Chain A
Amino acid sequence: MTTTLTDPTTSYLLPEGTREIPFREALREAMTLEMRKDPRIFLMGEEVAQYQGAYKVSQGMLDEFGPKRIIDSPISENGFAGLAVGAAMYGLRPIIEFMSWSFSLVAADQILNNVPKMLYMSGGQWGCPVVFRGNNGAGGQLGSTHSWTVEALYSNVPGLKIAISSCPADAKGLLTSAIRDEDPVFHLESERMLGDKGPVPEGDYAVPFGVAALRRGSWSGERNSDCTLVSFGRPVNFCLDAAEELAKDGIECDVLDMRTVRPLDIGSIVESVRRTNRIVVVDQCWPFASVASEVIAQVCERAFDHLDHQPLRVNTDDVPTPYAKNLEAEYLPHKGKIIAAVRKSLGML
């Protein structure tokens, strides 16, 4: 089995010229740099041009690239998703912004039934290199219909790649890879994190798909951690907080940030589990048939003999996302739930 290992001591060494910028600027930089080089790329979506982006991700891009490449669309999600398919079939490289991935459901036939199947159903002839991007996950009291986390639902479909970043550097690096990819990519962002800052390399910066980042712990094997925490997107940060807290009690965790759900770097997960013998997967989707379920199924298939405790999941509860503040906070994965799960996997509860 080949495993690609990333070590925090190297993967965190960002190149010279790295400065701190928020997510939204990192995303903008990825699109802008690629658009300067590649005239085939255009950005379309609701409020992306005149308004400078509903969440200011595309601020200034209309000025730089003009209305033929930064295009405000009517409220027609199915329309612009389908239009992107045709444009991609004819050689363009569309980036489609959903104001929220919740609204991508209006475009389900295009993005699930056309985009990922076009290549296969044309016998390998018509590819569909479209990037669909936008906010994913509970944005903070947006109500059930506005708070979709789509990774579980969409990752079931073959032919799609799904990237989801936990820090601004990855946001830039993964979006850059998404735009360059020959296949369709769903790029999931978090409204809750758009303003969060982090170090981001200047200039050309791409993060390859299918390579997890070990955010805490070490591959070098000086001391194996007690438990493997696997997550993707925003909850990676909750895992880091939980790991910090647990460390005070002498419990060490590997924290693996998957970066892409599809492809899934199962090799790194298995490698960590071999050392820790315990795994907790933290996932902001509903539990049933979630990405966490998939990770755990694969771990059982590949590393069952290495497990000292049954794998555990921290998901949201199996209910629509609540609107009320107190209920939404209860419903989402958080540090407390992660700590409890790790302790349970260690037989400490």
Chain B
Amino acid sequence: MPIRTVFKAQIDHLQILDENGVLDEKLAKDTLTDEQVVFLYEQMNICRHLDEVAFKLQRSGRMGTYPQNKGQEAAALGSGFAARKGKDWLVPCYRENAALFLHGLPMEKILLHWMGDERGNQIPEGVNVTPISIPIGTQMLHATGMAWAFKLRKEDRAVITYFGDGATSEGDFHEAMNFATTLNVPVVFFCQNNQWAISVPREIQMNSETVAQKAIAYGAHAIQVDGNDLFAVYKASKDALSRARSGGGVTLIEAVTYRLGDHTTADDARRYRDEAEVASWRAKDPIIRTRKYLEGKGLWNDTRQQEIEDRAKVIVAEVVRNAEGIESPSIDDIFDYTFETIDPELETQKRTLRTSSLGQKPEQAGLEAERR
């Protein structure tokens, strides 16, 4: 019996808009219109500004730990824009703000969340976004289950779930991929490979050359895209989502991008990253690239840039005002939101705790409890 090859694989890398803002017209066909690119570029600027403001809020003690999105806006926007608002669903982790905003999540929700308030995760009706997920990797299984529900209920939807390179080391990723492909449900796995999981570089996290190739083992479609290229991200996501919806299979998209900021405001990446590496990625910043493209087409100039920066300031200032203007949550919330219907024991605790609030005389707690 001769040895024969029973399986071969390859991973393609898609880039449409290069670092100098030059577009591959052929590949760009049927992707984004000029109008759409302008809109997305404006979103990029607004989100970048929000990110900077959030950072400053944390530094001045007005917000808790915050993970900056800086540098990854094209990945979030390209993929988010490919999903149909109000129809498809987004199951995020925590570094794709721009995609969530596109789908209607009010910006103050994100600030409120990182200010340490559960109500930041109360998603308005009609916004197809699930809460931010902090335990790494868990949300990919939720997305798979959600997609399975679409399939059972015969709904014309797909779900796109977001996670980092680091998350692909969790068992949850592998189990989700296996379920998604064996059940053939309409889910797209979108990995923002930003090269780092806190201080651990990709090469130490995994021995595989790409994240995308992990899909091969599960019989999913796989593609690597330039994650700072709006066009490539959009195209790959759109193709993957329509394939998913039509029963054509699951896709893992690896968006190669870079976390230009620290892991979170609790981190200082200078301690473990080479300045040269960061500088090389700064040059690939999606904002710079998209702007070059638009300027080349005569769709953008300094005046318009000034306008959008001014507008971003106004928008974000209002978002901050709104988020900070919300009163502290009531103690009742912790009891009211533990079960759908509060049980009698919790009802008792609710009353007791209210009277033993910090700042009140502790005696009141006992007295109140006894009297009942």
Contact = CB atoms under 8 A, between A and B. Distances in A.
Interface of A: 46-47, 50-51, 54, 72, 74-79, 102-103, 105-106, 141, 143, 145-146, 317-320, 322-327, 329-331, 334, 336-337, 339-341, 343-344, 349
A343 B363 contact: yes
Given A74-B169, A106-B137, A337-B365, 17 more contacts: A51-B199, A74-B205, A75-B205, A76-B170, A79-B171, A146-B134, A317-B334, A317-B349, A318-B345, A319-B346, A322-B333, A323-B117, A326-B329, A326-B331, A327-B329, A340-B365, A340-B366
9 contacts: A46-B198, A47-B199, A74-B197, A74-B206, A319-B338, A320-B334, A326-B331, A343-B363, A349-B366
Contacts of B118: 322-324
B358 interface: yes
Interface in B111-136: 116-118, 134-136
Q: Which 7 A-B pairs have the closest CB atoms?
A: A74-B169, A349-B366, A336-B362, A51-B199, A340-B362, A141-B116, A319-B338
Contacts of A343: 362-363, 366
Nearest to B368: A349
B246 interface: no
Nearest to A337: B356
B272 A329 contact: no
A103 B172 CA distance: 13
Instruction: Please indicate which of the listed interface residues A106, A318, A324, A334 has the most CB atoms of chain B within 10 Å of its own CB.
Output: A324
Contact of A324 (B117, B136, B198, B370): B117
Interface of B: 64, 116-118, 134-137, 166-167, 169-172, 197-200, 204-206, 271-272, 328-329, 331, 333-335, 337-338, 345-346, 349, 353, 356-358, 360, 362-363, 365-367, 370
Contacts of A54: 198
Contacts of B204: 72, 74
A50 B272 contact: yes
Contacts of B136: 75
Contact of B169 (A75, A323, A327, A344): A75
A319 B329 CA distance: 15
Contact of B134 (A141, A143, A334, A349): A143
B63 to A, nearest CB: 11
Given A106-B170, A317-B353, A318-B349, A329 B358 contact: yes
B166 A75 contact: yes
Instruction: Please indicate which of the listed interface residues A47, A320, A323 has the most CB atoms of chain B within 10 Å of its own CB.
Output: A323
B278 to A, nearest CB: 17
A50 B171 contact: no
Nearest to A109: B171
Instruction: Please indicate which of the listed interface residues A51, A79, A103, A146 has the most CB atoms of chain B within 10 Å of its own CB.
Output: A51
A341 B367 CA distance: 11
A326 B328 contact: yes
A119 B166 CA distance: 34
